């Protein structure tokens, strides 16, 4: 039995970890935007998935349980997450980010929890509380504000396609979350993570080769090493491990509300590091969407169900 001092220390470490997680996820958007100036979006998605999967395999190989094949009952969710949440979402997000500002991309990608709600009603038969429906309505209004003709140029084809990529990624991620909710797990998400990456990497590489041609072959350099470390251990494996650790030691509501800072930091860091312009519609959209997700999380405060959060 843990002492009160030990429990408090564990929670303090978890609080520090979730703070690091928020900063890493938030600053990830402008960093990825810079990387895309040197690597095509689909090949960068392949690099992230490949290095992330390799990192998971290496860590598990030296762990107490080692690497194990998924149970037959888990293969459905492994394939679903691998194809949709890993391959499709990762590819669409990078394609969208290549044509959309980093701050705007962070906000639109964070609409995923909102699209889970209508899917849960139609597919899982959930009966949401009024506060959840109000949250969904606020989120939709926030998206509409961001796409208002007064602030968004609908004649800019590349920007329009980029925004559609990001919205499609959010919707697909929501579908994967719904499948995760309905699935009865035989093994842990950590144990299945490298196999999900492996399943998603194949079709992603095929698509990248078809659309963008041969993979770029960077010259060995310090920048290459930094990029590889960033793509695998730092931005893919670390957030996954950190989220699991934090979820075990902090209340779910505390974690979910703290993670609302991710799109805020994404926008602020994009302004700070990339000098991106922010207009009123972007600020209003951010406030409405973050507020909407907060309402949805508050409605689930008394539930013990797991959540799948974005690792972008």
Domain tally for the chain?
1
Indicate whether 20 belongs to any domain.
Answer: no
Residue 11 domain flag? no
Contact 235, 48 (CB under 8 A): yes
259 near 285, Cβ under 8 Å?
A: no
pLDDT of 247 strictly over 90: no
136-160 mean pLDDT: 92
pTM of the model: 0.88
pLDDT in tens, 252-298: 667 778 888 999 999 999 999 999 999 999 999 999 999 999 988 88
Look at 27-36, 105-114, 235-244, 291-300 and tell me which has the smallest mean pLDDT: 235-244
More confident position, 217 or 171? 171
Closest CA to 216 of 61, 16, 35: 35
The residue length of the chain stands at: 312
- Between the alpha carbon of residue 265 and those of residues 96, 102, 208, the distances in Å are 19, 11, 30
Band the pLDDT of 151: cuts 50, 70, 90.
confident
Q: Are 45 and 141 in contact (CB under 8 A)?
A: no
Closest CA to 166 of 62, 296, 32: 32
C-alpha 35/C-alpha 267 separation (Å) is: 17
- Average pLDDT (127-131) is 85
Average pLDDT over residues 130-150: 91
- Range name among 76-90, 91-105, 122-136, 145-159 with the lowest pLDDT average: 122-136
Mean predicted confidence (pLDDT) in 48-67: 88
| Among the listed residues 60, 293, 90, 104, the one whose alpha carbon sits nearest the alpha carbon of residue 197 | 90
Q: Give mean pLDDT, residues 205-216.
A: 94
Q: Which residue has the tokens 């796409």?
A: 147
Confidence class of residue 310 from pLDDT cuts 50, 70 and 90?
very low
What's the confidence (pLDDT) of residue 311?
A: 45
The pLDDT of 239-251, averaged and rounded, is 76
Instruction: Give the model confidence (pLDDT) of 73-89 as tens digits.
Output: 999 989 999 999 899 99
Give the pair of three-digit tokens for residue 310. Answer: 């974005």
Domain for residue 17, yes or no? no
* 13: in domain: no
> What's the rounded mean pLDDT across residues 84-109?
95
Structural tokens at position 54: 């390799």
In a domain, 306, yes or no: no
Domain that holds residue 113: 32-299
Q: What digits encode the pLDDT tens for the residues 38-54? A: 899 999 999 999 999 99
In Å, how far are 7, 159, 251, 295, 304 from 18, measured between CA atoms? 16, 33, 12, 20, 19
Sorted by sequence, the CB contacts under 8 Å of residue 260 that are 6+ apart come out as 290, 293, 294, 297
In a domain? residue 79: yes
Percent of the chain exceeding pLDDT 90 equals 47
Residue 312 lies in a domain: no
Residue 235 resides in a domain: yes
For the chain, what is the mean pLDDT?
86
């Amino acid at each position: 039995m843990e002492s009160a001092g030990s429990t408090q220390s564990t929670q303090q470490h978890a609080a520090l970890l979730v703070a690091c997680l928020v900063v890493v996820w938030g600053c990830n958007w402008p960093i990825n935007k810079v990387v895309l100036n040197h690597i095509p979006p689909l090949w960068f998605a392949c690099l992230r998935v490949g290095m992330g999967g390799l990192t998971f395999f290496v860590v598990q190989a030296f762990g107490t349980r080692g690497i194990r094949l998924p149970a037959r009952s888990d293969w459905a969710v492994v394939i679903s997450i691998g194809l949709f949440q890993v391959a499709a979402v990762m590819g669409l997000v990078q394609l969208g980010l290549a044509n959309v500002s980093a701050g705007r991309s962070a906000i639109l990608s964070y609409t995923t929890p909102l699209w889970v709600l209508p899917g849960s009603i139609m597919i899982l038969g959930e009966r949401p509380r009024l506060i959840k429906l109000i949250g969904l309505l606020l989120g939709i209004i926030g998206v509409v504000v961001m796409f208002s003709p007064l602030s968004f140029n609908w004649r800019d084809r590349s920007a329009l396609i980029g925004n559609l990529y990001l919205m499609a990624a959010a919707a697909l991620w929501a579908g994967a979350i719904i499948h995760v909710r309905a699935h009865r797990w035989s093994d842990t998400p950590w144990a299945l993570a490298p196999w999900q990456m492996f399943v998603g990497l194949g079709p992603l590489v095929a698509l990248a080769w078809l659309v963008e041609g041969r993979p770029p072959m960077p010259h060995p350099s310090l920048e290459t090493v930094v990029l590889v470390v960033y793509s695998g251990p730092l931005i893919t494996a670390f957030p996954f491990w950190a989220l699991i650790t934090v979820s075990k030691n902090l209340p779910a509501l505390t974690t979910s509300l703290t993670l609302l800072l991710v799109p805020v930091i994404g926008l602020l860091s994009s302004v700070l590091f990339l000098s991106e312009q922010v207009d009123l519609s972007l600020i209003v959209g951010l406030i409405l969407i973050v507020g909407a997700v907060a309402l949805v999380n508050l409605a689930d405060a008394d539930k013990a169900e797991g959540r799948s959060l974005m690792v972008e």
